[in-house]
Structure 1
Amino acid sequence: MIHPTALVDAKAQLADDVEVGPFSVIGPEVTIGAGSVIGPHVVIKGPTVLGERTRIFQFASVGEDCQDKKYAGEPTRLVMGDDNVVREGVTLHRGTVQDRGETTIGSRNLFMAYVHVGHDCVVGNDCILANQVTLAGHVVLGDHAILGGLAAVHQFCHFGEHAMAGGGSIITKDTPAFVMINGNPAEARGLNLVGLKRRGFSRDAINALSSAYKLVYRQGLTVEQAVSEMRSRFDLPEVTTFADSIERSTRGIVR
């Protein structure tokens, strides 16, 4: 299962059925779960934990030292869940001791070719990052987030669950849950209605979110006024999630 040209450190822990392709290098303190396939010319550096059924394609660099100039070789980590797909040339960096000390990635995510995930990022579950998406350090992506090709997210930004960014978007502020954004700088373009319908959100939930969106973006209210109004008018968990994603913003929201 391990190609004879691959270099796997004796201190790495690989499940019995893990496949490792030609010329790949797996360092110490790397753990790889069952059913995983590591392609050719992949470099994985620890401390790194990869869940079950991870698929990594050629020339990816996973768990490498981060590019933060404050990083001084501390044993920070990268931890990934199950069923992630990491395509060609992707770079996933470990954390820094100045923050969480860990870059955390959930399950069932797709990282298309040449995506970069910077230090201390948190990526949820079921996210799609299209070709050449770049996440600076400390970025948080909610579940089911979708970023189009060449989108770039500024450090410390939060990108809410079920939100979507069009290709080439430059994102320097927080994106509320369920919102679709695009542009440079990115601006709100509406709700991610197609995504919500595909994921089975009810008509009532979508209608309530549409009304809540208008309070924030169409009625000329302050953010605080809009959030207060939506909380008083709607008693649905989806609207609560939308409101929470706005209230926790520290950088201001995309508008």
Structure 2
Amino acid sequence: MIHRTALVDPTAHLGHDVSVGAYTIVGPRVTLGDRCVLAAHVVIERNAKLGTGVKVGYGTVIGNDPQDLKYEGAETWVEIGDGTVLRGYCTINRGTAATGKTTVGERCFLMSYVHVAHDCAIGNDVIIANAVQMAGHVTVEDRAIISGLIGIHQFVRIGTFAFVGGGS
């Protein structure tokens, strides 16, 4: 179901049984897999692919321009894997350079207010708690857990099964 106040660009592709909430914007070159659920006031600006069964919480912004002075308007992307859950007010920026992308793997759980900057790569089955703020080019490998209120410096790699403690 697409709410009557939602705006969906004609170039967007929506799979079967997709739900788009009130005042949500789905921009150009966006693909929503089957059974995606977008809450109210979500913005998927452009150039984003969401897999099957992705759930996006209230006020989340996906696919906006990267916050990088090197960005010169290249066509860059965000990809979010099947079964991932993004709680309210997350932000996920597109990649920086041509063909660049920011990726979030399958079955991830990003809690409220998580920021994933340009060119980050998050593996599968990752849990990221509230208000984690990632700078650009961060890699988080499969099954890592990141506690809340953490700032992650650019180009950091967090390994498979790593646990990062809160407030660090």
Same fold (TM over 0.5): yes
Taking the aligned partners of 1:156 and 1:61, their CA distance within structure 2 comes to: 22
Moved over 2 A (4+): none
Taking the aligned partners of 1:36 and 1:104, their CA distance within structure 2 comes to: 17
Residue identity in the other structure for 1:167: G
Q: Within 5 A, what are the aligned runs for 1:187-198? A: none
Q: What per-residue deviation string (whole Å, max 9, x for no partner) do you get for residues 192-242 of structure 1?
A: xxxxxxxxxxxxxxxxxxxxxxxxxxxxxxxxxxxxxxxxxxxxxxxxxxx
- In structure 1, the gaps of 5 or more residues are 170-255
- Please state which structure has a larger fraction of its residues in helix: 1
Q: What per-residue deviation string (whole Å, max 9, x for no partner) do you get for residues 136-195 of structure 1?
A: 1000001011111011111001000100011111xxxxxxxxxxxxxxxxxxxxxxxxxx
Q: Within 5 A, what are the aligned runs for 1:96-175? A: 96-97=96-97, 101-169=100-168
Taking the aligned partners of 2:16 and 2:5, their CA distance within structure 1 comes to: 18
Taking the aligned partners of 1:115 and 1:105, their CA distance within structure 2 comes to: 12
Residue identity in the other structure for 1:159: I
Taking the aligned partners of 1:103 and 1:16, their CA distance within structure 2 comes to: 25
Q: What per-residue deviation string (whole Å, max 9, x for no partner) do you get for residues 82-135 of structure 1?
A: 00101111001110117x611111100011000000100000001111000011
TM-score between both structures, scaled by the size of structure 2: 0.97
Residue identity in the other structure for 2:51: G
Aligned to 2:59: 59
Aligned residues with identical type, % of pairs:
48
TM-score between both structures, scaled by the size of structure 1: 0.65
Taking the aligned partners of 1:37 and 1:104, their CA distance within structure 2 comes to: 19
Aligned to 2:9: 9
Taking the aligned partners of 1:144 and 1:135, their CA distance within structure 2 comes to: 17
Q: Note the aligned Cα RMSD (angstroms).
A: 1.0
Tell me the SS of whatever aligns to 2:59.
Answer: coil
Residue identity in the other structure for 2:53: R
- Please state which structure has a larger fraction of its residues in strand: 2
Q: Does 1:37 align with 2:37?
A: yes
Structure possessing the higher relative contact order (Cα contacts under 8 Å, 6 or more residues apart): 2
Taking the aligned partners of 1:74 and 1:164, their CA distance within structure 2 comes to: 35
Taking the aligned partners of 2:29 and 2:154, their CA distance within structure 1 comes to: 28
Taking the aligned partners of 1:124 and 1:94, their CA distance within structure 2 comes to: 16
Q: Measure how far apart 1:16 and its partner are.
A: 2.6
> How many residues are treated as equivalent by the alignment?
168
Residue identity in the other structure for 2:8: V
Q: Measure how far apart 1:38 and its partner are.
A: 0.5
- Structure with bigger gyration radius: 1
